[in-house]
Chain A
């Protein structure tokens, strides 16, 4: 492979090409500018183009292509989150108010309001950083990303490089964190969907298999345990799948900040720069008719592993002062970011090591080739740094230096490629006011569905269908394709129970290999919350429910939720559509209230908008507004962690939380094809009280197993606990703490009321448990574990509602995905 790669010096100078100007740019009319932007795939608005034109008028010259590309990249939605930072006129059921910046007034405001001292760095770095462990010497970097657009085109490579990207984000958090956990969440069309698709769209199952293989092949090679994540199937994703990747890393606390100084050398490290991942590889109009595949990056996991090894070594030897990764926009964004942080930069693209010799200077500047990072290195440390990287067989090249000029200057062998004012790039972006409209949909006001009473067999039938549902069924056939315990720190694994196949609520990582013995048994747990079905009815309550779900998952394994850090990932359609933007605003408002209510600040996040594709009718179809909440919290002593499988017969079962008739957006409503009423409404203060009481009991060893109630409610949770622990359960519906009067067993068994957890308590310490949890608002004994391997439910009338063998329940639960993926 090496022989086909040219060394930098072998690249012929292309001074002429470097200087190519967008001639006549200054004279173009607004229409002409828009036409040029469309042809060049800049995705800049008319207002933004005029701002750029005005800037270059002031400079007194036409821009070079590379400069316009830089502006387009740096001002892109992806880099600047324009939607979240622009003023919005938001109309809520007719009442209009002005939001100055959605980000500052919701997600970031919660963090600012909560002022948690353990938040070391929020939103400003490549990942959020919080403190970790008891000695105060360590910190945890957290990040979750999306890679939706590449995955729609090429799921294998897209999912792989998505993971690679988020791992680099963690590597570039502060001065670099050692990745100790990776996660992935996929939203795809139903695996059994064989329906017709427009040209270019992949069948959902094919896409899913490729994405799983991509994450597995890349993640396994990196040696980072992939122990968290989720799958969600629904028709809304059949054209536009969503692929999320997350990563958590450990770093010494001293490495949480970074500062480059003038005179520091700008060093590129890692993989070489190639033609892969150049969005603008479309300057000639002939290529515009081609596919967008040139914009896809090609990943190489071992290059990233080498980079990871070398970087952490160099960090510990304190050989650099700043690091950032080359993600979207490649060098153009990474170097500009570095320049912004330091006051200016000058780089020479001729110095960058290339994969092939035929790259134009602007292509080198913009290429999104993977596995590259940019460092600011004091000149005195350069030799030592080069030695560390060479020892890991990882290439480095000095591209230029940090300057004081307030400009970013890009050259190629003496010819100027770009020379831009940093102030213009940072502050020149005009933000137009957008319109957002929210109208409470009818479904949120629909009447309660009525169930015929005495439908005993029906409950069993609903349960069987719920367990076999793609959004509930066993994920084992996916999870096992990932190495979830490399690094020997996964003490609570994604698969639990007697046969190691039960569905865990959260994973617990004990990063002993990363922090050594100093932290004893300190670990952390990570969990997710996601439910687009609720969002279709009301994104506000979806956001609340997602945060609640993530937190109760953390509670189930025994994490200290008083120090929960949240990550948000918003995936919506085009914000140019006021209704879509309205729903996004609504979700962001929910995030704020949830974070405030649960006292859990957001530390980092990302939005991915424009998730739309042309449907069969030729009209654009947007994905359902999807919010992924990732939550991480410390586990003070991993030896006290709890799993979800029941442990022994004869133990009382306690249900935490109120049950209401919440069937809107529920799995049960979907199975029965009814429009349920009553979206789960989270009350954070009450929920938190209950969670804290349970955690106090866990700390005393008074909880043997715990499982969260989510899709499919009590029935699904009870079944999963039973068949994972291989003991039966007896539930008495009359004992459930209800809000309002509920007569139907279906409501009691399948309601998705939030903040509920089912707990197994040791029989001989029940009184102690009851004392320890006195402060919990609704905690009732609702049944018992039994030796007979059946799930027995007694109805309100004292008669049996169902009695199902757990082996049959498990078989149905295990079949769906393993058959689809076989």
Chain B
């Protein structure tokens, strides 16, 4: 069966594209990097692809806020993306890509109205660390099939604190099972820093659209695609899941079906 074409969308300052493409290749995808400039010039049409990925990094230097300029570009030049999402094709935004999808109004509801945003980490600084995450077992996300309820992934960001416009929004998110992942302590409980590395409201680490085909997450799944990526691989001889790789595998498998 032909490998599904996957658009890896880059902008100046995006820096996790190579390992993201590598992860997709491992699980049978055909990643194709393209730049926002290609999109603007009409050389690349998102609807020609089976899946779209917005990798991590510092798009346009994050000079106006994390992912802000990229979000404006998405709104202005990537109108097809909304259609793409409605057609149930998978869209994944990691870290900076997640921030851009939220600011472009594609997550959590795809209404175009940015109801969530990001603020600087409570610690006031960039932080890289591995975190424990609890997946929402009721999440409709196509990315989570077969994954255990608790997984580990690394985060690395300075502006990852998810904030909501109003407390009512949190209720909406819960109702729609849009909260895809939460930061938890190693025993699975909602906890403060450093388990919650940035101070996100309700420990939210990832959001999904209610249909489950668009996922944005602050942690980096592309950095856990081999057991040797885990910080404690020398202590354990065997891990059941490289959670990051499984997330990509689910998406590629979905594209094929």
Contacts and interface: CB of A to CB of B under 8 A. Distances in A.
Interface of A: 216-217, 220-223, 300-302, 305-306, 391-393, 479-489, 491-493, 495-498, 500, 510, 512-514, 638-639, 641-643, 645, 647, 705, 725
Choose among B12, B231, B233 the residue with the greatest number of A CB atoms under 10 Å from its CB.
B231
B126 A500 contact: no
Contact of B223 (A485, A514, A638, A639): A485
B235 A301 contact: no
A221 B16 contact: no
A228 B231 CA distance: 15
A391 B37 contact: yes
B154 interface: yes
Nearest to B227: A639
B15 A306 contact: no
Interface of B: 12-13, 15-16, 18-19, 22-23, 35, 37-38, 56-58, 60-62, 125-130, 154, 156, 158, 220, 222-223, 225, 228-229, 231-235
A156 to B, nearest CB: 14
Given A222-B15, A487-B19, A645 B154 contact: no
Contact of B22 (A301, A479, A513, A642): A513
A512 B61 contact: no
A743 B8 CA distance: 66
15 contacts: A221-B57, A221-B62, A223-B57, A302-B12, A302-B58, A305-B13, A391-B37, A393-B12, A486-B15, A488-B225, A489-B19, A491-B233, A492-B234, A512-B22, A643-B235
Contacts of B16: 223, 486-487
A485 B127 CA distance: 12
B225 A484 contact: no
A523 to B, nearest CB: 9
Nearest to B38: A391
A609 B129 CA distance: 38
A391 B35 CA distance: 8
Given A302-B61, A488-B222, A223 B126 contact: no
B61 to A, nearest CB: 4
Contacts of A392: 12, 35
A221 B126 CA distance: 11
A389 to B, nearest CB: 12
Given A485-B154, A500-B231, A221 B128 contact: no
Contacts of B235: 498, 643, 645, 647, 725
A484 B128 contact: yes
A205 B100 CA distance: 36
B128 A305 contact: no
A585 to B, nearest CB: 42
Given A306-B12, A492-B234, 9 more contacts: A221-B62, A482-B128, A485-B223, A486-B19, A487-B19, A488-B229, A498-B235, A513-B22, A639-B228
B223 A488 contact: yes
Contact of A491 (B60, B156, B222, B229): B229
Most buried by B among A221, A482, A486, A489: A486
Contact of B127 (A480, A498, A642): A480
Contacts of B130: 500
A314 to B, nearest CB: 16
A705 B130 CA distance: 21
A482 B126 CA distance: 7
A111 to B, nearest CB: 33
Contacts of A305: 12-13, 15
B156 A483 contact: yes
Contacts of A510: 228
Contacts of B23: 488
A216 B13 CA distance: 15
Contacts of B62: 221
Contacts of A705: 234
Rank and list the top 10 A-B pairs by shortest CB-CB distance, nearest first.
A223-B15, A488-B19, A302-B61, A483-B156, A491-B228, A643-B234, A302-B13, A221-B58, A488-B223, A500-B231
A500 B223 CA distance: 16
B37 A483 contact: no
A225 B77 CA distance: 32
B42 to A, nearest CB: 15
Contact of B128 (A217, A480, A641): A480
Contact of B125 (A393, A481, A642): A481
B232 A498 contact: yes
Chain A CB within 10 Å — which of B16, B57, B62, B235 has the most?
Answer: B235
B232 to A, nearest CB: 7
B26 to A, nearest CB: 9
A641 B22 contact: no
B163 to A, nearest CB: 22
A631 to B, nearest CB: 21
Contacts of A492: 234
Contacts of B233: 491
Contacts of A223: 15-16, 57
Contacts of B128: 479-485
A482 to B, nearest CB: 7
B61 A221 contact: yes
A484 B155 CA distance: 11
B198 to A, nearest CB: 12
Nearest to B59: A302
Contacts of A391: 35, 37-38
A638 B127 contact: no
B227 to A, nearest CB: 9
Nearest to B124: A822
B195 to A, nearest CB: 12
Nearest to A489: B19
Contacts of A393: 12, 37
A484 B127 CA distance: 10
B127 A513 contact: no
A461 to B, nearest CB: 31
A480 B129 contact: yes
Contacts of B129: 480, 500
A496 B231 contact: yes
A513 B22 CA distance: 7
A512 B129 CA distance: 21
From A220, A223, A305, residue with most partner B Cβ within 10 Å: A223
A301 B234 contact: no
Nearest to A484: B128
A700 B95 CA distance: 40
A510 B19 CA distance: 12
A725 B235 CA distance: 9
A496 B235 CA distance: 10
Contacts of A221: 13, 15, 57-58, 61-62
Given A223-B16, A488-B19, A216 B126 contact: yes
A290 B222 CA distance: 50
A514 B222 CA distance: 15
Contacts of B220: 488
B147 to A, nearest CB: 19
Contacts of A642: 234
A493 B156 CA distance: 14
B243 to A, nearest CB: 13
Contacts of B229: 485, 488, 491
A393 B14 CA distance: 13
A479 B128 CA distance: 8
Nearest to B156: A483
B167 to A, nearest CB: 31
A647 B126 CA distance: 31
Contacts of A306: 12
Nearest to A1: B63
A724 B19 CA distance: 30
A488 B125 contact: no
Nearest to B236: A647
Contacts of B15: 221-223, 305, 486
B228 A220 contact: no
Contacts of B231: 493, 495-496, 500
B225 to A, nearest CB: 7
A167 to B, nearest CB: 13
A510 B13 CA distance: 23
